[in-house]
Structure formats: C-alpha cells, structure tokens
Chain A
Amino acid sequence: MHIPDGFLSTPVWVALDVAVAPAAGYIVRRAQREFEERKLPLLGVMGAFVFAAQMINFPVGGATSGHLVGSALLSFTLGPAAAGVVMIAILAIQALVFQDGGILALGANVFNLAIAGVIAGYLPFHFWGAGRARKAAIFMGGVFSVLVAALMAVSELLLSGIAMPGAVLGVSFGLFTVSALLEGAITLAVFQAVETLNPNFIKQPKAGRRIGLGLIALAAVALAGVGVLFASTNPDALQRLADTLGIASKSKPFLDAPLAEYQAGFLQSAWLRKAGAGLMGIALIYGACALLGRMVGRQRSA
C-alpha cells in the first residue's frame, strides 16, 4: 500500500514532487540511453510481471504468507535505471487506475520505492554481487529495498505531523523488519530460479569493486534514513520511543543540540522547525542518492 493523498502536509509533498521530477527525468534518460527503443516492451512487460507476481503467495509458516515486492529483483535483472523507470510506471498506473497511492503523493511514493528503494536494493549487489558474498548481497538487496522505502514513508508521515505513539512505531518497525527479511528471502529464491533458467537474464556486476566504498555508501544511506526518522519525530514521541528502546540516556544530548540551535535560529514556529529539520534531512538523502547514482553510473560505463 502506498501513501494516499491527504496524509502528507503541503511542504512535504511539494518538496518531494519538486525534487523527484528532475530525478525521474534523469533516470528515464539514462534508461533510454541504455535500452533504446528495442527494449521498450521488455520494461513494460517486466512491470506487468511485478504486478502479477503479487498473486503468487510464498508460504512462511502457519497461515501467513508473503509475496514479492520486486524492486531489488528488477534492478538485478534490468539494471538500476531501468528498474527505476519500471517502478515509476507501476506507481503511476497504481495511482491512476487502482487508486493505490495519491496523485499529489506520487512524488513521495516514487522517491520511497523507485529511487531510494531501488538504489538501496541495488547497492549490495553492485559491490558484492560478483564475489564470495554473492548470496548475502542478493538477500541484503531485497531487505534494504523494502526497509529503506518503509522508513522513508514513515518519516514522511511523521514529518507531516501524523502523531504516532512510541508503541505503534515500535510495532511497525517490527513488521517492517519482518517483511524486509521476507522480501530478502523471496528475492534470493526467485533470483536463483531465474538464473538457473537462463544466466543471461541477470545483469552481472563486475568483479573487484571496492568493498570499503560500498560499506561507506550503505552506511551513509542507512544513517541518513535513521537521521530523518529521528529529526521528524516530535520530541514527545521520540522520548517514548527512546524509552522503549532503552537508548534515552545516550541519545538525549545528541538530539537536543541541533534542535536548540534551530530554536535560536530563523525558524520561529515549532511546526516549521520540525518540518524544516526533516526536509533538510530528506534533501541530504536526496543529494547522497543523486551522487551515488552518478558514481555507480560512472563505474558502470568505465
């Protein structure tokens, strides 16, 4: 389920729409350069495949089952830019035809799933997809693609002033983690099935990419995500969350300092301050993602 209209506050959806438009344009141009007109039906049919894959249930045990989300798998088979285009197309169709996700919130949903989700899902495979840790990289790709997208969605909702008590946040984090691990397992299983059928379906990454760089990149994305989440939580809920997690004593001074500075600064109202801090965080992540995209692209063409 994607974010519908009516939940995000105006600064949040406007900022994301404005930020996503050029990013989506860049992704589309890159995919177009890589694929030309020849592969146009391929991208569309793969989008349809991701839709249809939701019909196949993966039994987990008990009465529960999960299904493939697919952004990580798409990025392993089509490459990140094309996977982004396919995800954007899917989100647009879902918003228009199925009323799943809002029109004004499309920027937010595209950012979460098609940009942040695809990049986070692809990075492990890009750096470790050729070495000994290949399986782990594929698994982690699936995990990250869902986890990052969910974290982004929650932080956007929190930024918009949707108050969530600490207990609710804790439960949702638990659920996100479970579904992220499930996506990792499904992605790995389907990946292996696809590769057995025809290894050419996979866009194999080059061997010998610098692992340290990959670690730093992943850590940056993860930290930025957590940072936005913390920045966007109002101090009240944050306190409760911190209490439940038992990190209150450590995090308190660290969190007080930047907020205090904001108080003395140019932003007056509490709401603006909160939204401003969060938007800064999102802008930072956006910048990091854009930079990473460039870097990955350059390595690929080199």
Chain B
Amino acid sequence: MHHVVLERWSRGTSLLHRRDARVKILSLLIFLIAVATTHRDFELPGLLYFAVLVGGMIAARLPVIGMLRRAAIVLPFSLTLAAITWISGEPRRAAMVVEKSFLSASAALLLVATTPLPQLLRGLEMLGTPRFLLMVAQFVYRYLFVIAEQAHRMRLAALCRGGRFRPKGGFRSAAGTLGVLFARSYERADRIHRSMISRGFEGHFNLLSRPSLVWADAGFLFLTAALVAVIRV
C-alpha cells in the first residue's frame, strides 16, 4: 500500500529530517498562512512559494516528482470547484484556488515526509494539543492498516465463497460484514488494552529520543519566516 512510502521517506537523516518537530510545525503554519493571505497577483509569489517547497524537498533528499504526484491528490477536488468558479466568470480566481490548494498540500506533505508521525504528534503535544486526542490519533494511524487489511481479507473470503455483494441481498450481507468487522475491532481493542496493561502502560507513549531545540532549529525557523516574508511582501 502506498502509505509505506511515507514511512520510508520520513525516516531519512537529512538536515530537514533532523530539525525539531515543533519548529517544522510552526514553519508549516507560517508558510500556509502566507499562502492563504496572498491575494493579488498570485503568479510570481506562487512560483516562488513553489520554488521554496521544491528546494526543501531537494534539501531533504526526497524524490520531487514522487512528492508532487502524491500532493496532486487534492487536484480532482480543487479542479472541480475551480471549474465551477471558472464557469461563473472568475478564471483568475479559479487558477489561484488550484495553485493554493496544491501548494498547501505539498507543504503539509513536506512536513510529514521529514518527520515520523510519533515525533510529529509529540511536537503537537508540546505546542498544546490535548494528549488524549493525540493518543487516539496515534492509535487510529497504528491500526488503520491492520483493520483495513482485515476488511480486505473478509471481502476476499466472501468473494471466494461466491458472495458478489449483488444489489439483491447484497446490501444486507455488506452490512453483516461490517457488523462482524465492528465486533472484531472491539475485541481487538480489548486485547490491545490488556497487553498494554501487562507491559506497564503509564498513560503516555515514550519516545526513543528526547526532543531538544538546538541553534540550527532556530535558524531554520528564521530562514523559513524570512523567505516567506520576502515573497509575501
């Protein structure tokens, strides 16, 4: 599945990968806010923002084409809305909306492609996000692929037995499948909880390395802010 790519990307050792998660989150926010609030004449600033992002991807030794293709996931949605805007007689606005959504998605992708999710969530926690929410998010991410693969296996098993989810009766059998998947997920959660207790879970996850701010982090934040400010003005 294509999520594995992100896991591989985020485990790099480049200069960008080694920056503190908090600094990268703040930089992303600065970048996004700058993009969102640039209004007139988006052509030149748009190109410059794009150059900054591509520069970041190269500095992080990430495959630029692969990254851009992944960020292009927003395009079907934005192109549809842009087409509607175009029809209503605002072609410039339509183009800007597409550019902005693509730039923002690429920027967010650059953050997650240079920061492993546990570190990212720890960074968010240090910036004041409730820990309970972040732990739930981490569990969602951890078991996302497990449950999805279970769903996949169940569908395969149904196909093997000749189940085709046909319109007649198929609706109920699909509902039955999901009901069973629900029950299995529930039981899995119980098992997970028991094994966590037996391993001495203390109410929070531990990271292998303790995050600490170094001068390079401050430099990185300053650099992003300065670049963005120059482009914005």
Q: Please list the residues of chain A having a beta carbon within 8 angstroms of any beta carbon in chain B.
A: 1, 4-7, 10, 13, 24-25, 28-29, 31-32, 37-49, 51-53, 55-62, 65, 68, 77, 85-86, 88-90, 92-93, 95-100, 102-104, 157, 161-165, 168, 185-186, 189-190, 192-194, 196-198, 201
Contacts and interface: CB of A to CB of B under 8 A. Distances in A.
Contact of B167 (A59, A96, A190): A59
B188 interface: yes
A41 B189 contact: yes
Interface string B122-136: 000000001011011
B27 interface: no
B212 interface: no
B139 A48 contact: yes
A13 B175 contact: no
A96 B108 CA distance: 7
Contacts of A55: 148, 151-152, 155
A190 B178 contact: yes
Nearest to A35: B132
A48 B183 contact: no
Contacts of A1: 77
Interface string B167-191: 1001110111111111101101110
A192 B73 CA distance: 35
Secondary structure of the B contact surface, majority rule: helix
B193 A46 contact: no
Contact of A190 (B74, B117, B175, B201): B175
Interface stretch (B11-19, B52-60, B96-104, B214-222): B96-104
A89 B137 contact: yes
A32 B117 CA distance: 23
B110 to A, nearest CB: 11
B88 interface: yes
Contact of A99 (B33, B70, B183): B70
23 contacts: A7-B81, A25-B130, A41-B139, A41-B189, A42-B189, A42-B190, A44-B143, A47-B136, A52-B144, A53-B151, A55-B152, A56-B151, A85-B136, A89-B137, A93-B140, A102-B104, A162-B84, A163-B85, A163-B88, A189-B172, A197-B180, A197-B182, A201-B183
Given A99-B109, A104-B36, A4 B104 contact: yes
A85 B133 contact: yes
Q: Which 6 A-B pairs have the closest CB atoms?
A: A44-B139, A193-B179, A6-B100, A5-B104, A189-B175, A6-B101
Given A164-B88, A198-B183, A5 B36 contact: yes
A31 B131 CA distance: 12
Contact of B179 (A31, A46, A161, A190): A190
A134 B79 CA distance: 42
B147 A44 contact: no
B174 A57 contact: yes
A197 B152 CA distance: 21
Given A56-B177, A96-B112, A162 B136 contact: no
Contacts of A28: 130, 132-133
B203 interface: yes
A46 B36 contact: no
Interface residues of B, number: 86
Given A52-B148, A55-B155, A43 B139 contact: yes
A17 to B, nearest CB: 11
B101 A41 contact: no
Interface in B197-229: 201, 203
Interface centre among A24, A49, A90, A104 (most CB of B within 10 A): A49
A154 to B, nearest CB: 11
Nearest to B165: A59
Given A58-B171, A190-B179, 18 more contacts: A6-B36, A6-B103, A10-B37, A41-B196, A45-B147, A48-B148, A51-B148, A57-B174, A86-B140, A99-B105, A102-B104, A103-B104, A163-B84, A163-B85, A168-B84, A193-B178, A194-B179, A201-B186
A49 B167 contact: no
Contact of B144 (A48, A58, A100, A103): A48
Nearest to B98: A6
B3 interface: yes
B4 to A, nearest CB: 12
Contacts of A102: 32, 101, 104-105, 108
B147 A51 contact: yes
Given A49-B181, A56-B181, A103-B108, A96 B120 contact: yes
Contact of B147 (A10, A52, A163): A52
Nearest to A193: B179
B231 interface: no
B73 A104 contact: no
Chain A CB within 10 Å — which of B105, B133, B170 has the most?
A: B133
A194 to B, nearest CB: 5
